[in-house]
Amino acid sequence: MTSHFLTAIDERAPGLVAGLYLHGSLALTGEFFPGSDIDFVAVLPARPQDAELVALAAAHEAARAARPQPLFEGIHLVRADLARPPDACPEVPFIHEGKFERAGRFSVNPVTWHELAGHAITVRGRALAGPDVWADERVLWEFSHDNLGTYWAKVAGLLVDHPEQAGLPEVAAWCVLGISRLHHLLATGSMTSKSGAGRYALTAFGPRWRPIIREALRARERPAEPSAYGDGGARGRDTTEFTAMALQAGLALTR
C-alpha separations of 212 from 60, 134, 165, 177, 234 in Å: 37, 37, 15, 10, 9
152 and 245 share one domain = yes
Note the pLDDT tens digit of each residue in 106-122: 999 999 999 999 899 99
The domain spanning residue 41 has which CATH number? 3.30.460
- Domain stop point among 105, 132, 159: 132
Euclidean distance between CA atoms 226 and 219, whole angstroms: 9
- Domain stop point among 113, 132, 151: 132
- Domain stop point among 108, 132, 156: 132
40 and 71 share one domain = yes
124 and 142 share one domain = no
7 and 105 share one domain = yes
Task: Quote the pLDDT of residue 229.
Answer: 96
Residue type, position 223, single letter: P
70 and 188 share one domain = no
Q: What's the number of domains the chain is made of?
A: 2
122 and 153 share one domain = no
160 and 128 share one domain = no
Task: Quote the pLDDT of residue 230.
Answer: 86
32 and 127 share one domain = yes
Residues 6+ apart with CB under 8 A from 141: 185, 186, 189, 255
142 and 37 share one domain = no
Note the pLDDT tens digit of each residue in 28-76: 777 777 777 899 999 999 999 999 999 999 999 999 999 888 899 999 9
Which residue range forms the structural domain that includes residue 32? 2-132
192 and 163 share one domain = yes
